[in-house]
Structure 1
Amino acid sequence: MSTTARRTRRGDTPPPRTGSSESEVLRGFLDYLRRSIAAKVEGAPEPDVRTAAVPSGTNLLGLLNHLTFVERSTFLGDRVTDWQATFHAAPADSVADVVARYREAVAQANDVLDGCTDLAAPVLRPRPNSPAPSVRWALTHMIEETGRHAGHADILRELIDGATGR
């Protein structure tokens, strides 16, 4: 972080108040995490947003790009042949492009979830000849995956420009 960077402290958003059903709780927490990570990436400055701040090469824009692929694979049945490659946005992609693509994947995933009434049933997705996970497993996996990378994003964003908060 440069010495001229301004520290920005956003207020923390508390965990969501959801309905009492298992589905409402799982979806509420997933949507909370989805909003948190998108907000963490939105407005991050170039080129820092795609610059690795840790030896693994992880960068803020790449995290959101990766989560877009995970959403599409889990809920929409998209096949991914190289998961490591999903951690890097294309050079021509702006922050706004990656955030918009993530939000579109989330909207499409939520459309699929809206049609799922039984958490034990397989996710309704158009991937023939491939078993789908249960809706419960898919939601739990996406909470874990999104929460894990949201934590990474918190640290990376603070290193970029000092911005903190959810």
Structure 2
Amino acid sequence: MQEPSPRPPTLRLMQAGTAGEREILEAFLDFYRDVLVHKVRGIDDDAAQRQLLPSPTTLIGLVKHLTVVERNWFHRLTDTIPDVPLESEPTPSWTIIDTDTLDRALAAYDQACAQSRTAATGFALGDVVSHPDMGQVSLRWIYIHMIEETARHTGHADILRELTDGATGILG
């Protein structure tokens, strides 16, 4: 059986092997964003909301949480978010409410990622922004933190998806 051709973020990551620092950081972050989306596609809302662990971690909760994380970090560049810690969000990102659907969560995540890409445009990696708890952080730090955060939670999604229906693999 022939392997499917790589999706654009996967291809971009493979082509970034000798690219500049920013292109590599962006390629890795987009790769993990894409993997997360592919991990949750193809399941219904009940499966996405199913709590399979003692913690409140669910597939839809992971998408909602990473949406908040995108907004909390990149949107700081354009001052489009209030300086509030994640715990004080009106609806904590891990909490599932009646109106939550996977389609809505993925649309919000896609929008937050697009806004993050736009917010980063025009800033150099060494440019800094203020953070209420850390003082200042550079765009470079934000990229690295977001790669770490997105990859870690994508790993959680990988395990939850396997527990849900047995699907495994980077884009499965």
Please tell me whether residue 147 in structure 1 is matched to residue 151 in structure 2.
Answer: yes
SS at match of 1:133: strand
Please tell me whether residue 113 in structure 1 is matched to residue 120 in structure 2.
Answer: yes
Alpha-carbon spacing, 1:146–1:83, altered in 2? closer, same or farther (3 Å): farther
**Higher helix content, 1 or 2:** 2
The residue number in structure 1 matching 2:63 is: 64
Which residue identity is paired with 1:35? D
Q: How many residues align?
A: 153
Structure 1, gaps ≥5 residues long = 1-9
Which residue identity is paired with 2:87? D
Structure 2, gaps ≥5 residues long = none
Alpha-carbon spacing, 1:45–1:63, altered in 2? closer, same or farther (3 Å): same
The residue number in structure 2 matching 1:96 is: 103
Alpha-carbon spacing, 1:165–1:27, altered in 2? closer, same or farther (3 Å): same
**For 2:88 and 2:32, how far apart are their aligned partners in 1?**
21
Aligned CA-pair RMSD? 2.6
**For 2:115 and 2:51, how far apart are their aligned partners in 1?**
30
Query: Given that residues 89 and 98 in structure 1 are in contact (C-alpha distance below 8 angstroms), is that contact kept between their aligned partners in structure 2?
Result: no
**For 2:137 and 2:160, how far apart are their aligned partners in 1?**
31
The residue number in structure 2 matching 1:44 is: 43
Q: Could you tell me the TM-score, scaled by structure 2's length?
A: 0.79
**Higher strand content, 1 or 2:** 2
Identity %: 38
Which residue identity is paired with 2:95? H
Please tell me whether residue 157 in structure 1 is matched to residue 156 in structure 2.
Answer: no
Query: Given that residues 56 and 95 in structure 2 are in contact (C-alpha distance below 8 angstroms), is that contact kept between their aligned partners in structure 1?
Result: no
Alpha-carbon spacing, 1:11–1:62, altered in 2? closer, same or farther (3 Å): farther
Please tell me whether residue 23 in structure 1 is matched to residue 30 in structure 2.
Answer: no
Give CA-to-partner distance per residue, 1:53-93, whole Å, 9 cap, x none: 11112111101100000000001133345169211243212
